[in-house]
Amino acid sequence: MWIVLGISSLGDWLGLLATLAFATQHVSGSAAKGAAFGSVIAFRMLPAMVLGPLAGVLVDRFDRRSTMAVCDLGRFAFFASMPTMALVTDSSAIVVGWVGIATFAIETLALLWTPAKEASVPNLLPRARLETANQLALATTYGVAPVAAALLLAGLTTGLNAVFGGDLPGGVKATEIALYFNALTFLATAVTVFFFIKEISGRAAAAGERQPGMLREFWQGLSFVGRTPMVRGLVLGILGAFAAGGVVIGTAQFYALSLGGGESTFYILFAMLFIGLGLGIVGGPRVIGALSRRRWFGLSIILAAGSVVGLALAWHLSLAVVLALLVGVGAGMAFLSGTTLLGGEVDDEVRGRAISFVNAGTRAVLMFSSGLSSVLVGAGGSREISLALFSVPVSTTRMLLGVAGLFGVIVGVVAFRQMDDKAGVPVLADLIGSLRGRPLSAIGPHLHGGLFVVFEGGEGAGKSTQVDLLATALRARGRETTVTREPGATGIGQQIRSLLLDRAAGEGRHAEHLTPRAEALLYAADRAHHVALVIRPALERGQVVLSDRYVDSSLAYQGAGRVLPVDEVSWLSAWATGGLKPDLVVLLDIEPRTGLDRVAARGAADRLESEDLAFHERVRYAFLDLASEDQHRYLVLDAAQSPDAVADAVLDRVGAMLAAGSGQPARPVEEEVTMRLDGRGGRE
């Protein structure tokens, strides 16, 4: 899919550049060239306004793989037809007119192809990898592809001039060769999608199944956007951000003049904007760490819009450059988080309509706001207001930027409130905690000096051994430490443990098989009791709590292993624990076969240890996906190392956290309350 995306993005940008140049080459006079240029842009934007809302209905109705392949075949035919038309007729009017018609058709097909691709990606990889995949996709689409397209077209033109002194024999121009090459890229993507990515989900109805009408499906998608707070806030934020962005685009050249510069100033600001966009996309997730992506989206829009307000007030190019960079950073982070949320949190059945609605809306809003702002700026004037130390230019450009920025800030705040999944948690404290790698919990954050460390991993990874080694080392340093294990850390937990893990409990004449959902509920019940009676009280006393297994085990074993919906297991675990998250998760990674051999060497295996190898492989990769999603909070170690080497690495990390202030000074020994279940608590 990434190869398809790269080729298609190259084709899109190359097609735009070559089509614009091709259209202007077939007319003479500055007015005619300007009209041809503007017409191509208009024909690219018009389909989104006319047909955009219905495109998502078709995407959700038909097989996505077939839809993408057919759309690429259509784009291949229409792009190839443009230079072909120039070869069969000498009429400039016919050529330019056909370019407009073909461009409209190509953009209409793109309206179907893009949401089909976006809706398919979440079905091709684990949710934990979705943000990384979106980073790669956006960097390719808006970083590598446009640069490669511009260099390719420039190199082709320069090469023809050097070899032939201009066009090829027969009057074939570089733009015509570029259009043929571009057409072939879409043929290549059609073949790749149809024959090599069969995993793309199909949306075709089963034979004989009655489908609702297209208009009804459209209203169903629209009502889904309207009644779902997360999606409603997301759409509102994206449309508001693009409206403000359109104003920035429409006023950019006039703004450069207000700074006393010319085209070079405009190019500098333009470059800084896109550099910031790339930094936001590539570096944003690493900077904000585990901050909720819903909160991140709203805050990113506020950052970008607030920087636009700053641009309206900037009096010097150096300040404007910094603010333009921040606008790009905020826009890039909002773009990435919004794309990830659309793909990860919108149901597959309506995902195509939601993405199509956003794509069409952003194009229409961007075109309208940029066009209107450029007209208003051109009709307005400029004034100089002299202050004590300096004079400030006040112009229509700056007024529009200020209004657009304030509007964007308001939209960002509204979107944040619509989407906030951590109500009651202070935003600033949560942001600072996330930057430090310790975000606050949505429910009952543990604002105390304790340190909560969890050991996770597959069977035979050596978790119990490492828990005991770390506890011994910390106590030797004078740290109060509570050691606890799941399941069975309490009296009730011991009874639940016998139901969950004792193979004998599932044998006998009247024995009942424990269903996956019942298993998940029992683990949640044990964990709720465990957190309330053991973990929270110890943390409130400022102790270090070491737990052998916690929430991630449910996500890996019941979610991936038992193939239950991971989001449901996650919600159940969050509710059971009151949102309490560990400060550090030590993931001991081991090949399932090696770990099971260790279990077999110990003796009789319990119910989970007795599952087949495929089950344990799903568990292992689920743990690794969780770690990749929140790298600041995880320490992933190879459990095949010697126990001492693993213990040293763990102690170094925990020691650094304690030294940084992630815990209160040790209390008197007589206040220590530890709960150890030696010989009973672990499975290793």
Q: Which of 414, 430, 424 is nearest to 444 (CA)?
A: 424
Round to whole Å and give the CA distance between 471 and 487.
19
The answer to whether the predicted template modeling score (pTM) of the entire model surpasses 0.75 is no
More confident residue, 549 or 161: 549
Q: For CA atoms 396, 397, 403, 407, give the dihedral sign.
A: positive
Question: What pLDDT was estimated at residue 124?
Answer: 77
At residue 666, the pLDDT reads 35
Render pLDDT for 306-322 as a digit per residue (tens, 0 to 9): 888 888 887 777 888 88
3 state SS of 438: coil
Residues with Cβ within 8 Å of 329's Cβ and at least 6 positions away in sequence, in order, are 276, 277, 279, 280, 284, 303, 304
The full DSSP string for 534-549 is IIHHHHHTT-EEEEES
Average pLDDT of span 183-204: 80
The secondary structure element, H or E, covering residue 262 is none
pLDDT at 513: 67
pLDDT beyond 50 at 199: yes
Band of residue 644 on the pLDDT scale cut at 50, 70, 90: very high
Write out pLDDT tens, residues 98-133: 888 888 888 888 878 887 887 777 777 766 677 778
**Do the Cβ atoms of 307 and 330 come closer than 8 Å?**
yes
> 626 pLDDT exceeds 50?
yes
The pLDDT value recorded for residue 564 is 83
CB burial readout 494-519, b (16+ within 10 A) else e: eebbebbbeeeeeeeeeeeeeeeeeb
Beta strands in 250-408 (DSSP E): 382-386, 391-395
Element (H, E) at 638: strand 634-638
pLDDT of residue 304: 85
Mean pLDDT to the nearest integer, 448-469: 88
The pair of structure tokens assigned to 536 is 């929270």
d(CA 611, CA 629): 27
pLDDT recorded at residue 377? 63
Q: Is 95:26 a contact under the CB 8 Å cutoff?
A: yes
Predicted local confidence at residue 470, as pLDDT = 94
**pLDDT one-digit tens code per residue, 230-274:** 777 777 787 777 777 667 766 766 777 777 766 566 667 767 777
pLDDT at residue 151 greater than cutoff 90: no
Residue pLDDT, tens place only, 565-620: 887 888 888 888 888 889 899 999 988 888 888 888 877 667 777 788 888 888 89
Per-residue pLDDT tens digits for 437-450? 555 554 444 445 68
Q: Helix 348-379 vs helix 396-419: angle between axes, to the nearest 10 degrees?
A: 160
pLDDT above 60 for 210: no
Best mean pLDDT range from 125-139, 315-329, 339-353, 383-397? 315-329
Read off φ and ψ for residue 574, nearest 5 degrees.
-65, -40
4-62 pLDDT tens trace = 778 878 877 777 777 767 777 766 765 666 566 556 666 666 676 666 656 666 777 77
What are φ and ψ of residue 460, in 5° steps?
A: 75, 15
414 and 236 Cβ atoms separated by less than 8 Å = yes
Judged against a pLDDT cut of 80, whether residue 159 lies above it is answered with no
Pair type for strands 584-589 and 634-638 = parallel
CA angle, 561 as apex, 524 and 343 as ends, to 5°? 90
Q: Which residue segments constitute the domains of the chain, with CATH numbers given?
A: 1-199 (1.20.1250.20), 228-438 (1.20.1250.20), 441-671 (3.40.50.300)
Residue with tokens 């150096």: 318
Q: What is the pLDDT of residues 523-581, one digit of tens each?
A: 888 898 889 889 988 888 889 999 999 999 998 888 888 888 887 888 888 888 888 88
> What pairing do the DSSP bridges indicate for beta strands 481-485 and 451-457?
unpaired
